[in-house]
Structure 1
């Protein structure tokens, strides 16, 4: 039996990605959902149609902790992180899921991942037990680059998440320049930290 560690719907709610302790990532097609009331009065969401995965992604050699869909502006892109110290970025190309990038420079489990708002490009933050946060970016030259925040949390990082974009004009109009990138992280040192890049 495998434990399910994470389940994430894509932007449109038509696909579900799950990850588990058996090292697998599964993709399900979820076109619509039926709400069922059981005899005991509990409500249950049941996907209509396909209940088996449309794809199984093999690549990790340890339990997969989290999956995260990129904004659809970048097509069907999914990131995963694992106890095996790696982050894998997957992309659906011609109906088949392929590994397009692998980040294996952490020294311990990668516990959490989060895509930045799409206005910042294809950028992923990764939090690791090795105390560091890495930020992976796909640049205009179509090359993956990285930045490391060393010792972000003294006893390891458990969570990372990006803040929504902030514009210099107003909340209504988004034609001004972006002010800054912000993200938050949480660690085993009992701290939550907000990071900002001006």
Structure 2
């Protein structure tokens, strides 16, 4: 990719790279691939990325990797196509000095912990915000969200599944936590599949779900949802509900996602009185300005919806990923046309494209 100011990294992966993730400080980068490797990169003083560690412990191609908040230590979560999740925790190996008395510093190793193995494909996973604790939410292809709580930072083997709820019978693509510590209840934004992207239909419907519930989901015409948890302290499958959207502008309701939503991203609140959520999929990319009503906790008010792409673009291209910068003043998208777009907020409800990065066939790898 011949773009000024960009650095190409030879990751030495032997197959497709499925996901990358920066740590909290932007000084480490982790990549994962179908070659079953998880590679951790460190940014040196000259700004170049050096390979710090390579882990080959997954039992299948690795699809997603995520960092926990550094307050909990150096912890990674990785899910693979063998339908399992591994937690990797960095620790100092005291045996390195015992083996070599001349060793000046303790060598660092990564301890793998397998916490989950399910019958369904894992589509996404996200660590909760720091004020919630060391909690991991897992989204499955059958439309369920499982939540795990780690109670002992010194022994991550001690964990508990505190929730396992059904969100959509068609399946889930992506999830994102609400990061506002002042909200009384925990919320997760969910990007759902549509009928075309859901798993193969069988005689009982999809994923063995009764056809009645599938028809109800399709009729609702809502692929973007917000799920509220009253509590994450106890195991209670009924202690949650789906937010109802109340549109302040009549034309905003027309922008509700009815087709596959590939990705969702909930921004940091940064002192605002409203939430910003970015969504993308078959219908393009959108930014949602939302505010929870004090009079009705079951309703979230949609103040404004911004459509970042024009109609002609949406008809031919699917937007696959969307993410915020830390101040929520920039949002970046990547699409099926191998193009990255960066948009900047230039006023309340006003966004403009400031950068477009297009990868071509003759680009450097």
Q: Secondary structure at the match of 1:73?
A: helix
1:5 is the counterpart of 2:5: no
Distance 1:140 1:90, change over 3 A: closer
Q: Does 1:159 align with 2:171?
A: no
Cα deviation, 1:12-70, whole Å, max 9, x if unaligned, reads 11111001111111011113565xxxxxxxxxxxx25x2xx221122222221111100
Aligned partners of 2:84 and 2:114 also within 8 Å: no
CA contact (8 A) 2:32 2:39 kept: yes
Aligned equivalents of 2:186 and 2:77: distance in 1? 20
Contact 1:180 1:197 in 2 (8 A): yes
Structure 1 stretches lacking a partner, 5+ long: 35-46, 168-177
Is the 2:188–2:228 contact (alpha carbons within 8 Å) kept by the matching residues of 1?
Answer: yes
The aligned runs of 1:36-51 (5 Å cut-off) are: 47=48, 50=50
Equivalent position SS for 2:143 = coil
Aligned residue number for residue 174 of structure 1: none
SS in 2 for 1:66: strand
CA contact (8 A) 1:79 1:88 kept: yes
Q: Distance in 1 between matches of 2:60 and 2:163?
A: 23
Matched length: 172
Taking the aligned partners of 1:3 and 1:32, their CA distance within structure 2 comes to 29
1:8 counterpart SS class: strand
Distance 1:155 1:96, change over 3 A: same
Match of residue 147, structure 2, among 135, 152, 174: 135
Paired position in structure 2 for 1:187 = 192
Residue 24 in structure 1 maps to residue 37 in structure 2 = yes
- Note the residue ranges of structure 2 that are not aligned, 5 or more in a row: 1-13, 93-107, 195-221, 231-365
Equivalent residue, structure 2, for 1:41: none
- Counterpart for residue 15 of structure 1: 28
TM-score normalised over the length of structure 2? 0.44
8 A Cα contact 1:8 1:68, kept in partner: yes
- 1:81-100 matched pairs, under 5 angstroms: 81-94=79-92, 95-100=108-113
Structure 1 residues 32 and 65, CA, compared in 2 at 3 Å: closer, same or farther?
farther
Question: Which whole-Å CA distance do the structure 2 matches of 1:136 and 1:183 have between them?
Answer: 14
The normalised TM-score by structure 1 is 0.79
Looking at structure 1, the residues matched to 26 and 17 of structure 2 have their Cα atoms a distance apart, in angstroms, of 19
SS in 1 for 2:167: coil
- Larger RCO, structures 1/2 (Cα 8 Å, 6+ apart): 1
Aligned residues: CA RMSD: 2.0
Change (3 A) 1:156 1:74: same
Is the 1:83–1:108 contact (alpha carbons within 8 Å) kept by the matching residues of 2?
A: no
Q: Which has more radius of gyration?
A: 2
Distance 1:33 1:8, change over 3 A: farther
